[in-house]
Chain A
């Protein structure tokens, strides 16, 4: 009976809550074994709970708060895949971070992961906002973790963006609920073939604010720079956990509420293209990965905007695959940072000699993100490409995505492994990464290959399973499809070889690359300084005039009233006493009668 009740409780509890609960105990774990159990056990219990969920598209757990019904657990086929990816990523992070003891970072990372998992399984806007804010607050500790002046400043900027996102969502939710009285996404609009996707009309009250809030977290163009600013300044483990959750949670939220919104097609397409140019000239390889993250999220946002069943499948599949290979690539760069103290391309090279496992895993991650057939990126991204190619009106968008695909090969497929592990020999001979890091990288790499070789199991979990099955049977492995992708990658690689041979590939150079963050780190202070210049000058002039006048008055008073001044030498003592009495009397009269 007790076992049955326990199983029932597991099946009806939001899986994120188990990770949150584990996070609360992490700071008190004295031994490494207990910490390992909590860091991996929390996600493991969450996984068991998710697999045994008491049905899909049902409100499994609800609570009444101040007259509002909060849906704490409502899994469906969209949230299932995102939740599964988040849980796997949090377990990988747990293993990856076992080599060091930092209770604050570990506990907040688990809180962050738990909040993200909770967010995808809640069924109403208010609960989503609460989990959304918890991810913001918990994640900032990852940026703070290095405890350097640079990271603290980056964390403050990061926090401004994350809190702004939350405030916009809150304002939008308040307006929406006040106007419609509805918070549950399943009841906002008719579902697309039984699945509540794209439920919010952009013209509904507050919808634009909610979209803007989601957009900040998804790193839309012009508000993207918090990502490239913060992620490379974290510890070797911080970037791994950050790369998995924030932007993908935003993609989930966009799919849930705004799938099919045309704006997103163009926003996503722009997101895929512009990071390519920044990544080419960036020297810090973790920053290159941050731009690459922006580019990959662009594919998902674009697919969400297209909004067909194939496109939503593509967005979800790409999010899942991306969480795995991007975590893998960040783990490889984290291992380099841990062993060499840097991820600058100019200071790396030739590390494959002593870090062959890390090199191998990085190459698998690079092949996956480049969408090489038989790796995870191919089976996921091709759905997005097919969905955009299917609509002749989106030809320009499709071309942008194709360009971005070649760009991905450049910055993540070639640049990252080449400059870190091959390229010029830096002379560094660090040890191979610690065993726990290798284990986490190995599992992530195995998943990348497994998804690529046998995509059927991933497709089974996609939001529209039937559409995914049809795509797998009739499109994915067709000869033209595979050959075209192979051509794209092979000839792009040949272009790399040619450019290297002719010494036309821009050499890596130290320095920072100006991006839109310049506006708030340099431009805005400079503008404020320029605009306040005239008033500052007037203030200085007015101050000098006041100083002159008051100085003159003080001098005059000294001349008149000093011990050897005009009054003492010219006026008799009796006259002074009479004057004093008159003044005193006047003061008394005023105070008595007024």
Chain B
């Protein structure tokens, strides 16, 4: 196992830093640009809206139920994902315990140290 950790001060600049794998520079270095996030979000919005537009354009059957309303999957995906993630706040407070909660010396027997 080789585990090389560099201290903060010695780190190289993010783009193509020394020791970086050439494939990483080729595949992923563009992600570190300042505009990446903005461009990525704009692209996602364009693709998302285009898919809704295409769905409306291609729709040949009348709307039978809520699932056949154009954009249903977009709204559902957004809300479901957001709901699942936001539930993490109360759940984390309710369910998270310290790392050694079970594995204490006597923890397996159900007693605190």
Contact = CB atoms under 8 A, between A and B. Distances in A.
Interface of A: 149-150, 153, 276-278, 280-281, 338-341, 352-357, 359-360, 389, 402-403, 406-407, 409-410, 422, 425, 427-432, 479-480, 483-499, 504-506, 509-515, 521-526, 528-529
A432 B24 CA distance: 11
B77 A492 contact: yes
Nearest to B87: A277
Contacts of A280: 84-85, 87-88, 91
B77 A511 contact: no
A413 to B, nearest CB: 10
A47 B45 CA distance: 46
20 contacts: A149-B103, A153-B108, A280-B88, A281-B92, A340-B3, A356-B24, A407-B81, A427-B8, A429-B5, A480-B55, A483-B55, A484-B55, A485-B73, A491-B77, A492-B81, A495-B79, A506-B89, A513-B95, A514-B95, A514-B97
Nearest to B68: A480
B62 interface: no
B110 interface: yes
A110 B41 CA distance: 46
B51 A487 contact: yes
A493 to B, nearest CB: 6
A495 B98 contact: no
A150 B76 CA distance: 41
B71 to A, nearest CB: 7
Given A359-B28, A504-B85, A406 B11 contact: no
Interface string B91-113: 11001111101110001111100
Contacts of A513: 95-97
Contacts of B73: 402, 484-485, 487-488, 491
Contacts of B111: 525, 529
B80 A406 contact: yes
A169 to B, nearest CB: 28
Nearest to A352: B28
Task: Across the A-B interface, give the 8 residue pairs with the lowest CB-CB distance, nearest first.
Answer: A525-B110, A406-B80, A488-B77, A492-B81, A506-B88, A356-B24, A356-B23, A487-B74
B13 to A, nearest CB: 12
A120 B102 CA distance: 37
Nearest to A479: B58
Contacts of B54: 479, 483
A153 B109 CA distance: 12
Contacts of B97: 511-514
Nearest to B17: A353
A144 to B, nearest CB: 16
A512 B92 contact: no
B84 to A, nearest CB: 5
A353 B27 CA distance: 10
The B contact surface, by secondary structure, is helix
A422 B28 CA distance: 10
A500 B111 CA distance: 39
B44 A406 contact: no
A341 to B, nearest CB: 6
A428 B21 contact: no
| Residue from the set A339, A505, A521, A529 with the largest chain B CB neighbour count within 10 Å | A521
B96 to A, nearest CB: 4
B80 A402 contact: yes
Contacts of A427: 5-8, 11
Interface in B17-60: 17, 19-21, 23-24, 27-28, 31, 37, 40-41, 44-45, 47-48, 51-52, 54-55, 58-59
Contact of A497 (B44, B79, B103, B109): B44
A422 B31 contact: yes
Contacts of B98: 511-512
A348 to B, nearest CB: 12
Contact of B58 (A339, A480, A493): A480
Contacts of B52: 487
A403 B80 contact: yes
Nearest to B40: A497
Nearest to B57: A479
Contact of A281 (B8, B51, B95): B95
Given A496-B81, A510-B99, 19 more contacts: A278-B95, A280-B84, A280-B85, A281-B91, A341-B1, A352-B24, A353-B21, A360-B27, A402-B73, A407-B80, A484-B73, A489-B77, A490-B74, A491-B74, A492-B78, A505-B88, A511-B96, A512-B96, A512-B98
A406 B81 contact: yes
Contacts of B41: 494, 497
A406 B76 contact: yes
B4 interface: yes
B16 to A, nearest CB: 9
Contacts of A402: 73, 76, 80
B63 interface: no
A402 B83 CA distance: 13
Nearest to A402: B76
A409 B8 CA distance: 33
A359 B21 CA distance: 12
Contact of A488 (B21, B28, B74, B82): B74
B77 A354 contact: no
A455 to B, nearest CB: 21
Contacts of B85: 280, 410, 495-496, 499, 504-506
A281 B85 CA distance: 9
Contacts of A491: 48, 73-75, 77-78, 81
A360 B28 CA distance: 10
Contacts of A425: 11, 14
B8 to A, nearest CB: 7
| Residue from the set B2, B27, B31, B96 with the largest chain A CB neighbour count within 10 Å | B96
A150 B99 CA distance: 12
B17 A495 contact: no
| Residue from the set A356, A491, A504, A509 with the largest chain B CB neighbour count within 10 Å | A491
| Residue from the set B3, B5, B44, B80 with the largest chain A CB neighbour count within 10 Å | B80
A402 B55 CA distance: 18
A282 B5 CA distance: 25
